Amino acid sequence: MERTEELAERGERILDAAGELLIAWGYRRVTIEEIARRAKVGKGTVYLHWKTKDSLLLGVALRAKDRSQRRQLARMRADATEILPSRAMRGAFIDYLRDPVLGALHFEDWDILGRLNDIAKKECAELFDQGHRALGRHLEILRGHGLVRQDTDVLRQVYALMATVTGFCMSESLFADRAPEAAEARADVLAQVIRGALETPDAAGPAGTPAHARLTAATPGIIALYEQLNRITAHEMRRRSRT
């Protein structure tokens, strides 16, 4: 019987191959045969890990999301200012710019995703809802520590945040020739817009200031939110895999 680590390594190799083909060819042209060929395994081996092409490609999307969430958590653990909306969305936006699977998901690129986008919305509806609720709770915690403005309600702030990020994602396709060249520069513009719209003026105060003390106090609760979201994402990935 194969060892767990060997199965995991082979599963990752299949996901890598499927992700490369999804971006290069789009959902409709990708076949299990071609994924197996690129991963250097037999077609039957692919089916030992995933029941269908849809479950495999959905696994590609979930893995991209999981990796982004893990990077976000690592940033938050390393620096309390990363829990601020401007910093959290800056990091997420850079992840989007650097990962073509995430880019396709955020932009809902039909040429790449095809019906996979509709499948993801249906099959992962609860996961998407959990992410939306986590974002709302994230803002509530920051409001409770005086780090986010309270001149409007949380639902409007969540909407403003998501609409702003969506607009920046769309601009990558619509206005690519007019944007700053470096990904970090474009992410800085996004952070500046969010900071002005949502955060209190002193929210990113340096160490030793009252604002930084409030950031430090808010961090454990926000990290716990995203740890839970990571667990839910990991469960979804396991649920769709045979191994």
- Render each residue's pLDDT in the chain as its tens digit; 243 residues: 456 778 888 989 999 999 999 989 988 899 999 999 999 999 999 998 988 898 899 899 889 989 999 999 999 999 999 999 999 999 999 998 888 888 777 666 666 777 777 777 777 778 888 889 999 999 999 999 999 999 999 999 999 999 999 888 888 777 777 777 788 999 999 999 999 999 999 998 888 889 899 999 999 999 999 999 999 888 888 877 766
Q: Return the pLDDT at 110.
A: 67
Instruction: Spell out the residues 6+ positions from residue 87 whose beta carbon is closer than 8 angstroms to its own.
Output: 75, 79, 81, 191, 204
Residue 129: per-residue pLDDT = 87
User: In angstroms, how far apart are the furthest CA atoms of the chain?
Assistant: 61
Q: Which residues pair with 199 in a beta bridge?
A: 148
Q: 199 phi and psi, to 5 degrees? A: -90, 155
The token pair at 201 is 């003026």
In 101-153, the DSSP E strands lie at none
For residue 148, the cross-strand partners are: 199
Q: What single DSSP character describes residue 206?
A: P
**CATH no. for 64-239:** 1.10.357
Q: Which pLDDT does position 1 carry in this prediction? A: 45
65: enclosing H helix or E strand:
helix 53-78
